[in-house]
Chains A and B, each alone.
Chain A
């Protein structure tokens, strides 16, 4: 009896965590697997995405899968959302789980450079392409935040006033 009670607390915590982070449709899932059938991540071999990820969350297994990198292999393509007959919007569950991982710094190592770039120049992907741009007849500096200090300050203010600021990524 005590075991069952513990498990139900674990399940409630997992579900409310994911709902709070944006996976609001999770309780409508009936485990039909339509999402996994169309998911490029599942096809490529990431083990814990879509149907199985939802199953594990509904079983209260958040801690057990926190180090699994599958969610970071999600392409954010939303094929799952398109085909889900229950309106779960599975991609939002995958991203909510990512946010749970990120909050515990269980992030893919590939993500850290993007966060630094974003903070410094407002672009996740950035190389100083001034020469290349001139070669094709464009002004050396793109008219974006990359060369615009006011814009950079605005982005930095938004980042500093968010939950990301506490993670020490920038």
Chain B
């Protein structure tokens, strides 16, 4: 069984643990073992060490990467920011002098960065390692007839020269679209597909600017697709879509809410897993669409996962 070190980050284990649970359900069922990286910390997030001290960034990332190296596994994360931060740290650590300085820092805590583990995003493992056909084989419910808007997020796309797995064209990403279509749903293109959702440093620095960007994107989604649900593989985008729709609605700036899920939550639902475990923590209302996905009429001929 192929094995990855599961790197959780911050948002998923503490804000949306149902996403973490969806990883723990679907990967073994798809033939991939996930091993915890005990004691892993924040990647470190862009607003922390990367904003203060480049070598410290590389040391904290290097420590996290060393946890996977010690287990001789590649690292897999479901958080786009963690994927970006860890991949960039690896890129900076190609510089021999920096690596030497960083390993001196790590030496103080009896650790070493070797560079032997690669960094994968959950979406990469699903798309490139497990593959669409294997996913289709495991579906208990089909999403046929449902319209989905996909939100890939930023940090798996650019800068493509530091990423271990790349899209053919990072301004026209297709992996999440294909993963979503594998569930039977349609995932039409829209003009702001690769536009930023406004989460991250922008939201903590100036919430109005963040909401402005978000609203622009959301209205484009509503007008061009009017989807049954939004699916993302970025935990930050997930939180932005989940918390900002009710906010805008309360202000009277929008008169709708679209249910939003992390991709593996929808996959877990389609594989027959219990919604109270894999998709139960949200501000936007999702009960209706969850019931629809797991309805009798959508059953494929597969047995329960």
* Chain A residues close to B by CB (< 8 Å): 21-22, 40-41, 43-46, 69, 72-79, 81-82, 89, 91, 95, 98-99, 102-103, 107-108, 110-111, 114-115, 118, 122-129, 132-133, 135-138, 142-146, 148, 150-151, 153-155, 157-159, 161-164, 167
Interface string of B263-305 (1 = CB under 8 A from A): 0000000000000111011000000000000000000000000
* Chain B residues close to A by CB (< 8 Å): 8, 10-11, 13-15, 17-18, 20-21, 24, 36-42, 44-56, 59-60, 63, 81, 84, 105-106, 108-109, 111, 154-155, 157-160, 170-171, 195-196, 198, 200-202, 204-206, 209-210, 212-213, 276-278, 280-281
Q: Once the chains bind, are A144 and B206 in contact (CB under 8 Å)? A: no
* CB neighbours of A122 from chain B (8 A): 41-42
Please measure, in the bound complex, the distance between the C-alpha atom of A22 and the C-alpha atom of B92, giving whole angstroms: 10
**How many pairs of residues, A versus B, come closer than 8 Å at their CB atoms?**
218
* CB neighbours of B14 from chain A (8 A): 123, 125-129, 142, 146
Q: Which of B41, B49, B55 contacts A144 (CB 8 A)?
A: B41
Q: Once the chains bind, are A133 and B205 in contact (CB under 8 Å)? A: no
A111 to chain B: closest residue by CB: B47
Q: Which of A46, A129, A145, A155 contacts B17 (CB 8 A)?
A: A129
Given contacts A95-B50, A115-B48, A148-B38, contact A40 B280 (CB under 8 A): no
CB distance from B281 to the nearest CB of A (A): 6
Q: Once the chains bind, are A136 and B41 in contact (CB under 8 Å)? A: no
Q: Once the chains bind, are A76 and B46 in contact (CB under 8 Å)? A: yes
Given contacts A129-B13, A148-B38, contact A69 B205 (CB under 8 A): yes
Q: Which of B40, B56, B109 contacts A162 (CB 8 A)?
A: B56
Please measure, in the bound complex, the distance between the C-alpha atom of A111 and the C-alpha atom of B204, giving whole angstroms: 8
* CB neighbours of A99 from chain B (8 A): 51-54
Closest 7 CB pairs of A and B: A151-B39, A122-B41, A40-B196, A77-B154, A142-B13, A125-B10, A110-B204
A157 to chain B: closest residue by CB: B109
CB distance from A159 to the nearest CB of B (A): 7
- Sample 30 A-B pairs with CB under 8 A, ordered by A number: A40-B196, A40-B198, A40-B213, A44-B209, A72-B51, A78-B158, A82-B170, A95-B54, A98-B51, A99-B53, A102-B52, A115-B48, A122-B41, A124-B42, A125-B10, A125-B11, A125-B15, A125-B42, A129-B17, A133-B13, A136-B277, A138-B20, A143-B8, A146-B13, A146-B14, A151-B39, A158-B60, A161-B105, A164-B49, A164-B56
CB distance from B8 to the nearest CB of A (A): 6
Q: Which of B18, B45, B56 contacts A124 (CB 8 A)?
A: B45
A148 to chain B: closest residue by CB: B39
Given contacts A75-B202, A89-B159, A144-B41, contact A123 B209 (CB under 8 A): no
CB distance from B92 to the nearest CB of A (A): 9
Q: Which of B44, B46, B155, B200 contacts A118 (CB 8 A)?
A: B44
Q: Once the chains bind, are B280 and A135 in contact (CB under 8 Å)? A: yes
Given contacts A76-B84, A111-B51, A154-B111, contact A163 B210 (CB under 8 A): no
